Amino acid sequence: MKFSIITPCQSAELPQLLALRQNLTMQVNQDFEWLIALNTPLDLTTPDWQTAFPVHQITFTGQTLGAARNAAIQVATGDWLVFIDSDDYLTPNALAELAAIDPLPADTLADLYQFPTYEPHTSFVASQDQTNVPDSLPKWGGAKRRQPKNHALNLETVVLGQLTPTTTVAPAALNWLEHKFTRNAGVNRWEQFNRQLKITGKVINRQLVQDNQLSFDETNALYPDYTFLTQVMARTTAYVRLANPTYIRVKHNDPVNQPSVHQLDVPDRWQQRVAAWQNSLVAITDPDLHLAFSRYCLYRLHRFLYMALATSETVDSATIVDIPNFMTQLHQFLQLVDDEALGEISMLSRHILTRIRRQPVYPRHAINRIVHLRQLGRVIKHRGRGITRLAYTWWFTKLPIKSKTILYESFLGRNFSDSPKAVYNYLQAHYPGQFKHVWISNPGVTGMPKGQPHTTVVKRFGWRYMYYLATSKFQVINMRQPKWFVKRPGTKFLATWHGTPLKHLVFDMDNVASANPLYKQIFFQQSRQWDYLVTANQFSVDVFEHAFMYPVAKMLKSGYPRNDILSAPNRDDRARQIKEKLGIPLDKKIILYAPTWRDDDYYGVGDYKFTLKLDINRLKRELGDEYVLVLRTHYFITEHLDTTGFGDFVYNESSYDDIAELYLISDVLITDYSSVFFDYAILKRPILYFVYDYEKYGSVLRGFYLDMEKDLPGPLLKTNDDVLNALHHLPQVTQDYAAAYAKFSQRFNAWEDGHASQRVVETFFNESDLK
């Protein structure tokens, strides 16, 4: 047996274990056994588990990863131990490439070459079905600058046949040309130290481990690997890494629900880390390795410890508890590190660590100073960018709170619209002069309520913005606040959100769809700062409960303030005024076309994003006497769209502030996968869905909360013929969908009675606030 694959597993990880089994069956080299260290019973006799390679379950005493791996090592029979975690996977040639290395001496620490990603095995396999490229890898999930850009080309034997017969090349070199790897030995043995200290994807000679009785630390739940790996490193003369990545390490982007060991919220994480370093350093006798490991540890202290200490005193989820005890532990650890390594780190950092080394004290001021200097350094590096934020953190958040100031933000300052606008209008009308209103605006945005009584407009991220963000008692925001926002005691935050959810949100998104790996964690932390979340219907309440993990008790079941205008008694008069403002003839009916934005993923080459699939020429030809078309598209489409040829038939209102006003003037809505139809349905007017790319959009539709085939209040139309036909026969369409429309309205718009703003204001503000 060439390899023994060791996979520690917990019962919650069984589904990913099955995915790994599937992955291992695809290995080109099947000369291995798979040892699963798992304490939950696993029935290996079922057909699913009948594989070409032997699979054994190993139970172990205790709960730690270290105990699991040690138990598996005890029963391994392969020449080489391969460490694979249950959520990770391998490329098909991983073991074959390693097996092909000849010679691979026993005193080698081998590495399958980790490739971090957020794409789990199942998603990657599904994407591979479409593009079957042998060297493809999942989407890179590490730091951008570290992404491997090139694939090393392993030459085939036939290329080597190009050499003249008289050429003599060492067999090992010839073998290497066909199976390339990198090798650190001799003077560069301890380069890439960080890579060498990661257990997953490592391949280690079993005899070497067993002869030297090397084992993982079973007492350290978080860092069991350091002691084992440093001892392996001490007993190996070379570090060999395959030239191309073959070990796919899946990172978790939901630390709230599915944290990896490194993401677990453990208050004594730093204590466990330093304890593991200490145990390892004590056992290292090789001076070079001792120096290299000292450097490794000191760099981590220098880079990460100070911020952790500085924030531990201010934030709720402290990463270091019992600082005095930790200082004692650190003091003992620092006695062990090499002086040479300590001398290499920067002066301020060295000063702090030397003080702790001398005495177990907590140099709070020095640590705060270094943290502040780093923050200032970042601002200087970015030539002043971020200075206002620094002022917010350092000074503005220390100023007294202004009890009569309300801060509003709609769509990150892009316009004066949505529910914050409705709340603002309501307060201005019913509580005039009671509050100071501050609106956040991006530079160049028009239509902001500048000049309105008691109203100030501030530039987003400017000095005044930071001042009001820190000192306003009330914040009314329809998206998310900045992640560095500090929720000060005594302030109240109203999250109005901006629509009934159609596409999966936050915690309902899978690992891949979430672009920012920290998105879920950041969203979770941000939403904990919301005092109230406005909801439009019971459906939204149910979705937000799991998608935002937000407590139902803190949701306002009020309907959307922004939709009050659609149920207002004077809505016809308002509609006429808006039409006049836009210059639309009063005798013309209006078709509102609001397609969603499609990005590159759903388009083939040459099929560009700004192509409008609705045949406007034909619409004009057939309906121009009776209708005009109002376009509401993404700004990118708008910029590339030339509507001059359509005369007074097309009105491009893509940059119009308030879409609710466009709803009000229109007689029929054409949309597709955009959530605009939830609000539009309040008007009880016909809705058509022009879904020309419905089949192509299939993978996206799977991420919708609604069943597009069953739940909609209007027809799905795939061609321009269908759209024209529906527009010509609107009464018939209305009649056909009357029942579906009623059901839809009941489900989504039951709370929209035109008084949502009142309900929100009366709940959010105390009576004393409104006096």
Partner 1 sequence: MHILINVVPQNQLDWSCLTTLVGEFTQQNFAAATFNLQLPAGQTLTAAQQQQLTDWQVTINQHSTTLTADHYIINLRETDHLLPGALQQWAQVMAKHPGSPISLAAFDTSTPLDDQIMAYVADHQESMLQQTYRQLTSATIDDATERLITLWSLQSYSVQTNLQNGRLLTQRIRPTGILLPAELLTPTLPLCSAAQAFAVLRQAPDIVRLHVPTLQREMWAEATPIAWLNELEAIDATKLDVMWQPVYADYFQRQLNTLLTTAGHKQLSRSAHLALLARIKQRTLHPTHRWSRLGLLHMLSPRVAHQLFY
Burial of 303 (0-12, 13-18, 19+ CB in 10 A): exposed
Which stretches of the chain bind partner 1, using CB under 8 A?
133-135, 149-153, 155-156, 158-159, 161-164, 167, 169-170, 172-173, 176-177, 180-183, 185, 188, 243, 605-606, 608, 640
Measure the CA–CA gap between 614 and 547, rounded to whole angstroms. 34
Measure the CA–CA gap between 175 and 74, rounded to whole angstroms. 33
Output the six-digit token pair for 456: 């100030």
Count of other CB atoms within 10 angstroms of residue 239: 23
Measure the CA–CA gap between 375 and 117, rounded to whole angstroms. 30
Measure the CA–CA gap between 193 and 203, rounded to whole angstroms. 16
| Shortest distance, position 248 Cβ to partner 1, whole Å | 17
Nearer to partner 1 (CB atom), residue 130 or residue 346: 130
Burial of 64 (0-12, 13-18, 19+ CB in 10 A): buried
Nearer to partner 1 (CB atom), residue 304 or residue 610: 610
| Shortest distance, position 188 Cβ to partner 1, whole Å | 8
Measure the CA–CA gap between 35 and 4, rounded to whole angstroms. 7
| Shortest distance, position 605 Cβ to partner 1, whole Å | 6
Of the candidates 350, 6, 383, 27, the residue with the CA atom closest to the CA atom of residue 200: 6
Q: What size, in residues, is the chain? A: 771
In the chain, what is the straight-line distance between the N-terminal and C-terminal CA atoms, in Å? 81
Nearer to partner 1 (CB atom), residue 181 or residue 424: 181
Nearer to partner 1 (CB atom), residue 133 or residue 347: 133
Nearer to partner 1 (CB atom), residue 248 or residue 761: 248
Nearer to partner 1 (CB atom), residue 64 or residue 91: 91
Is residue 109 within 8 A of residue 202, CB to CB? The reply is yes
| Shortest distance, position 116 Cβ to partner 1, whole Å | 19
Which alpha helices (DSSP H) does 674-737 contain, by range?
676-680, 698-701, 720-728, 730-736
Is residue 458 within 8 A of residue 392, CB to CB? The reply is no
Cα 457 to the center of its chain, rounded Å: 32
Nearer to partner 1 (CB atom), residue 195 or residue 684: 195
Nearer to partner 1 (CB atom), residue 46 or residue 167: 167
* Dihedral over alpha carbons 746, 751, 755, 761 (to 10 degrees): -160
Nearer to partner 1 (CB atom), residue 172 or residue 264: 172
| Shortest distance, position 1 Cβ to partner 1, whole Å | 27
| Shortest distance, position 99 Cβ to partner 1, whole Å | 18
Nearer to partner 1 (CB atom), residue 103 or residue 400: 103
624 phi and psi, to 5 degrees? -60, -30
275 phi and psi, to 5 degrees? -65, -40
Measure the CA–CA gap between 165 and 37, rounded to whole angstroms. 52
Measure the CA–CA gap between 480 and 497, rounded to whole angstroms. 8
